[in-house]
Amino acid sequence: MKFDLEKAINQWLKTFRKHKAFDDGSVREMEVHLRDHIDDLLAEGYSEQEAFNFAVDEFGEIEGVADQEFMHVKRRTSFAGIHIYRNYLKIALRGFTRQPFFTFLNIFGLAIGMAGSLLIALYIHDELSFDKMFADADRIYRVNIDNQTSGEYKEYASAPGPMGGVLIQDCPQVEQVTRFREVRSILLKRPEATLNIKEKYVTAVDSTFFEMFGIDLLEGDSKTALKEPNTLVLTKSAARNLFGNESALDQELLMNNDKLYKITGIIDNLPANSFLRSYSVFISMESFEDAKTTAWNTWYFPTFVKLHKDAKADDLQRFLSTVKENYLIPWAMTFVPGLTIEKARADEEQTGNFMRFNATALPDIRLYTSNREGDFNQNSDIKNVYILGCIGVFLMFMASVNFMNLSTAHSLKRAKEVGVRKVLGSGRLSLVRQFLTESVLISCFALVLALVIVAGVLPLFNTLAAKSIIIPLTSPLFWAMVISGVLILGLLSGSYPAFFLSGFAPARVLKGGYNKVSGGRIRNGLVVVQFTISVFLIIGSIVVFQQVKFIQNKDLGFQKDQILVLDDVSAAGKQLEPFREEIKRISQVKQVSLSSYLPTPSRRSGTTFFTEGSFVDGVLNSEKGLIIGKWGIDYDYAPILGLEIIAGRNFSEAHVTDSSAIILNETAVAMLDVSPEEAIGMRLTEDFHRQDKENMEYLTIVGVVKDFHFESLKNNIGALSMTLGGNPEKMIVKLSSGNFTDAISQIEEVWRSLVQGQPFSYYFMDESFNETYKAELRLGNIFLTFTVLSILIACLGLFGLASFNAEKRSKEIGIRKVLGASVRQVTYQLTGDFLKLVAVAIALAMPLGWFIMVKWLEEFTYRVEVTWWMLAVAGLVAVSISIITVSYQSIKAAMMNPVKGLRSE
């Protein structure tokens, strides 16, 4: 008997039609998918009976289905669901190939949003992971000092030398203590070598360092590595620089052409997201004479403590609040007659001066603390993380909105398809599933493209953000989060188009009324939100770059242009003065000065001074102490930097007593509560520790220099003093305009001839100045990058809405043209509708951008104002971009043959 395919299909569906679990739409949907599958099998060469049997097998056995409960039916027909979704995928792919440009816009828009958001997510993850790799990081705290003297407030990331011993001995909550000590850069070489190698980032540490932070040694014993004086530990990269492939353990190095140090350990390079990321040499604390100091005015020991597991940060803070009265003041009482705790309290209340100890959790240092004096590296700010996080969310939201708008714009072309499928029995739920499958599939394609984009631009982004971020492709958590995000994005992005399309009334769309669909307010609102975000980011980029430009062009009170800085000139030893004299003979060299201190990133040194009037009958009033920065300079320092002397004079070789002279800046003089002229001749001392007060050495004020910015413009100008002498590490060379390369070559030639075997290192002062504001410049560049991405995404959204609007209004455009409207008039009408949306976005973005950027600028003591023209430029850019984006679709619609638009009626 010949097999009857139609009879077999009807018989197979008969049982489902009778059962209450299946409505007519569901049965019809199953029939469509079954017939599609049978057609595919017939095309592959199967007979009708074989094709039917294979197709039915995939849906599962159906005998007795009508007599089963609903849940049993659902379980027995699970294969049918799989087959249905496979057909959804097949239909989706066919649709994509029929509309390649529309599909590309959707995938590209989502991919750009995903790529931008993924980059931001990787950046934020890196920021939030700082210092969490150290063992028991959540129990490690850094001790800080907050100090105010004579109205000047300073924050220090370090503590006095004795603090570590006090904490480990007297604070029961503390399990372990490690102190660091500032060393800065050093010169290292093997004893038999002639050439030194400079290591820029060096610190001294206590022997507990490795155990406390959980750092394992690749070579050596962590328990004994830094217990002895004149020992050091190198990172793997530093060891390779000095010894190549040869083992460095137990070798000796000559430091600064002076002392021999033994290498007792090698550690791996420290992670890029740690506070010690730059450091490569760790010297034993025992190598320094002040390692066991009992002086509480030695504020240059960054001190970290690890608490016991059951201890709390509040316990540590309570103990720190008692340190001043229990330890510091009793120490000061040994050399300040008449000082008592009660007197110190009264003086603090009267003057407003204070010194407070507090603690910061190690993982919080990067984002939750400001940059303090003595920080190992420049910190970031949690506000930047919040800002970039919002931008990442904005990008994904904008990309999702684009998908909705583009899908809706394309919906008119699918209206008849929806109508026909509904007439044939498809239910709304099945249509929703179909459209959501398409959106999820587009999201998956977009993810692949986004990962390709991120992999391509990540090196540039790392350079831009000063990071070493990688894509964690081997992390299951990364893939779980990315895939989950893509599925959620696909479902959310496709939800509005799915319900919008599936809601078409078949009778209405099939008779041509499908161009009067609803949802315009929602689409317009989404475009407004997109452009609001874009305009806000444009405002942010303009303000950040204007602030950086203001910093770079501000009158700083000193000259930084055409000044060459030679580093590590102390390596010249006795040849330093001959080298200086030889350089002066070079025609392009105008002036030369020696100092370790520059008004750009360099060493900082502060000390406590007392005036003569602080001593009454030989008794020191401790509250009269002035904490003032102290720089050692030479006679040519002020002239070469163009510092302005507003009272008195500069140091002069004609005055033999200038070895005991001092120059103050205006801020320091203000602390004395006198005018600059009145300050001349006053005497200050830092020699107040000695018992025989009558023999203290004094420095006489001979000059007052006008305030100049020697710190970040985020801070007020601090109190500063300058004295002759010190151990200069830098040479400042003022060059005349011309070919700097020739001048540098001549200077290097002199160096090589007089100082053999020592590295020649130099930089220009203006370049060093710009280093101070790299964080702001990086933030500006990041803002600009994601602003461009947001504008690109917004333009795609506007393009989609323009396409939708042009198609929706095709009959109206046709009527206008028949009645005599010109192409320009139609274009103006269409474009004007979108400019209204952009205008609303600008009105919303301007106050928001102004408010947030004013808050950001509050971090700077010296800053620009957010002016009207910044807001106007942002608005003008948004309007220009929207006109360019919309004009193509508007002109295309305006030039369309009116017959084509009217024919649909």
Whether residue 626 contacts residue 671, with contact meaning beta carbons closer than 8 Å, is answered with yes
Q: What is the pLDDT of residue 501?
A: 62
> What's the confidence (pLDDT) of residue 465?
84
Report the distance separating Cα 152 and Cα 626, nearest Å: 10
Round to whole Å and give the CA distance between 535 and 851. 14
Measured CA to CA, the distance from residue 443 to residue 110 in angstroms comes to 7
Task: Return the beta strands (E) in 136-286 as ranges.
Answer: 140-149, 152-156, 174-182, 186-189, 197-199, 202-205, 217-220, 231-235, 252-255, 259-267, 281-284
**What angle is formed at CA 428 by the lines to CA 426 and CA 429, rounded to 5 degrees?**
100
Please, which pLDDT band fits residue 162 given cuts at 50, 70 and 90? very high
Residues in the chain: 905
Centre a 10 Å sphere on the Cβ of residue 81 and count the other Cβ atoms it contains: 12
pLDDT for 136 equals 92
- The CA distance from 659 to 664, in Å, is 15
- pLDDT at position 60 is 45
Nearest-angstrom CA–CA distance, 797 and 524: 10
Check whether 308 has a pLDDT greater than 70.
Answer: yes
Q: 3-state DSSP call for residue 402?
A: helix
Which CA distances in Å does 217 have to 177, 212, 274, 288, 565?
Answer: 19, 13, 17, 23, 37
84-93, 677-686, 802-811: least confident range:
84-93
**Can you tell me the mean pLDDT for 720-727?**
89
Instruction: Report the pLDDT value the prediction gives residue 356, as an integer from 0 to 100.
Output: 93
Residue 80 has pLDDT above 80, yes or no: no
Name the least confident of 447-456, 503-512, 607-616.
503-512
Poorest-pLDDT segment among 196-205, 375-384, 397-406, 469-478: 397-406
Q: What pLDDT does 301 receive?
A: 94
Mean pLDDT for the stretch of residues 16-40: 67
Q: Tens of pLDDT along 817-849?
A: 666 676 667 677 777 777 888 899 999 999 999
In percent, the amount of the chain with pLDDT more than 90 equals 33
**What's the pLDDT score for residue 79?**
45
Ranges of each domain in the chain: 5-98, 137-368, 382-552+773-902, 589-735
- What does the pLDDT read at residue 571? 80
Question: Residue 787 — very low, low, confident or very high, per pLDDT cuts 50/70/90?
Answer: confident
Is the pLDDT confidence value at 254 over 80?
yes
How far is CA 875 from each of CA 662, 783, 838, 840, rounded to the nearest angstrom? 54, 17, 9, 11
Q: How confident is the model at residue 63 (pLDDT cuts 50, 70, 90)?
A: very low
pLDDT at 270 over 60: yes
C-alpha span between 652 and 778 (Å, rounded): 43
738 CB burial (10 A radius; 0-12, 13-18, 19+): exposed
Distance in angstroms between the alpha carbons of the first and the last residue of the chain = 53
Dump pLDDT digits (tens) for 534-587: 888 889 888 888 888 887 788 888 888 889 999 888 888 888 899 999 999 998
268 in helix, strand or coil? coil
Closest Cα partner for 288 from 179, 199, 214? 179
Specify the DSSP element, H or E, that contains 315: helix 313-323
Whether the per-residue pLDDT at 66 is higher than 50: the answer is: no
CA neighbor of 299 nearest in space, from 630, 591, 646, 42: 630
- Among residues 834, 735, 287, the alpha carbon closest in space to that of 524 is found at 834
Q: What is the pLDDT of residue 458?
A: 92
Distance CA 581, CA 595 (A): 16
Give the integer Cα–Cα distance in Å for 826 and 832: 10
Q: Tokens 């960054």 belong to which residue?
A: 302
- Tokens 């939100």 belong to 529
Res 283 pLDDT > 70 = yes
- Asked if residue 7 has pLDDT above 50, the reply is yes
| Average pLDDT, integer, range 123-130 | 92
Stronger pLDDT, 125 or 420, i.e. the higher one = 125
In this model, does residue 725 exceed pLDDT 70? Answer: yes
| CA of residue 870 relative to chain centroid, distance | 24
Cβ-contact 286, 206 below 8 angstroms: no
CA atoms of 636 and 72, how far apart (whole Å): 96
| pLDDT band (50, 70, 90) for residue 75 | very low
Task: Give the whole-angstrom CA distance, residue 698 versus residue 342.
Answer: 29
Lowest mean pLDDT among 113-127, 461-475, 617-631, 716-730: 617-631
Of 548, 533, 391, the closest CA to residue 874 belongs to 533
Which phi and psi (to 5°) does residue 457 adopt?
-95, -5
Residues of the chain above pLDDT 70, percent: 80
Quote the Cα angle for 759-762-764, to 5°: 175
Residue range 302-314: mean pLDDT, rounded:
94
Task: Assess whether pLDDT exceeds 80 at residue 619.
Answer: no
Q: Which tens digits make up the pLDDT trace of 372-398?
A: 888 888 888 888 888 888 888 888 888
Query: 772 or 296, which is more confident?
Result: 296
Q: What is the pLDDT of residue 57?
A: 62
Distance of alpha carbon 598 from its chain centroid, rounded?
Answer: 28
| Model pLDDT, residue 62 | 38
When comparing pLDDT for 19 and 455, which is higher? 455
Per-residue pLDDT tens for 201-244?
999 999 999 999 999 999 999 989 999 999 999 999 999 999 98
* pLDDT grade for 799, boundaries at 50, 70 and 90: confident
What's residue 71's pLDDT?
A: 40
Q: From CA 389, how far away is CA 123, in angstroms rounded?
A: 9
- Cα 717 from Cα 152, distance rounded (Å): 9
Distance of alpha carbon 790 from alpha carbon 787, whole angstroms: 5
The CA distance from 389 to 127, in Å, is 12
Q: What is the pLDDT of residue 45?
A: 76
Distance CA 539, CA 875 (A): 9
Q: What is the pLDDT of residue 1?
A: 62
pLDDT of 67 over the 50 cut? no
pLDDT computed for residue 65 by the predictor: 36
DSSP string, 634-670: -TTHHHHHT--EEEE----TT-GGGGGEEEEEHHHHH
Q: Mean of the pLDDT values across residues 726-744?
A: 87
Determine the pLDDT at residue 811.
67
Residue 88 — very low, low, confident or very high, per pLDDT cuts 50/70/90? low
User: From CA 800, how far away is CA 818, in angstroms rounded?
Assistant: 27
pLDDT confidence of 440, banded at 50, 70, 90?
confident
pLDDT of residue 506: 58
Residue for token digits 């509250």? Answer: 623
Question: Beta-carbon neighbour count of residue 481 at 10 Å?
Answer: 12
> Lowest-confidence range among 244-248, 460-464, 583-587, 812-816?
812-816
- Calculated CA dihedral for residues 277, 280, 282, 287, nearest 10 degrees: -140
- Indicate the helix (H) or strand (E) that contains 114: helix 100-128
Q: Between residues 622 and 397, which one has the greater pLDDT?
A: 397
Is 81's pLDDT higher than 70? no
Q: Max alpha carbon distance in the chain (Å)?
A: 131
In this predicted structure, what is the pLDDT of residue 232?
96
CA distance 358 to 144: 5
Mean pLDDT over 641-665 rounds to: 93
Q: Which residues in 416-428 are b (16+ Cβ under 10 Å) and which e?
A: eebbebbeebbbb
CA angle 799, 802, 804 (to 5 degrees): 110
Q: What is the dihedral of CA 183, 187, 191, 194, to 10 degrees?
A: -170
pLDDT at 328: 93
Secondary structure (3-state) at 180: strand
Average pLDDT, the chain: 82
In contact, 54 and 8? CB cutoff 8 Å: no
Say if CB 244 and CB 251 are below 8 A apart.
no
Supply the pTM of this predicted model.
0.75
Bridge-based pairing state of the strands 152-156 and 589-595:
unpaired
Q: Residue 306: is its pLDDT beyond 90?
A: yes
Would you state the pLDDT for residue 82?
Answer: 52
Q: Residue 19 — pLDDT band, cuts 50, 70, 90?
A: low
**Model pLDDT, residue 64:** 37
Phi-psi region of 562 (alpha: psi -120 to 50; beta: other; left: phi over 0): left
Q: Which residues pair with 373 in a beta bridge?
A: 156
- Report how far residue 638's alpha carbon sits from residue 649's, in angstroms, rounded to the nearest whole number: 10
Q: What is the pLDDT of residue 76?
A: 41
Residue 70 in this model has a pLDDT that exceeds 50: no
Q: What is the pLDDT of residue 103?
A: 78
Average pLDDT over residues 455-482: 89
Q: Which of 750, 423, 808, 694 is nearest to 577 (CA)?
A: 750
Choose between 741 and 615: higher pLDDT. 741
Instruction: Classify residue 772 as exposed, middle or buried by CB count within 10 Å of its CB (0-12, 13-18, 19+).
Output: middle
Beta bridge partners of 633: 724
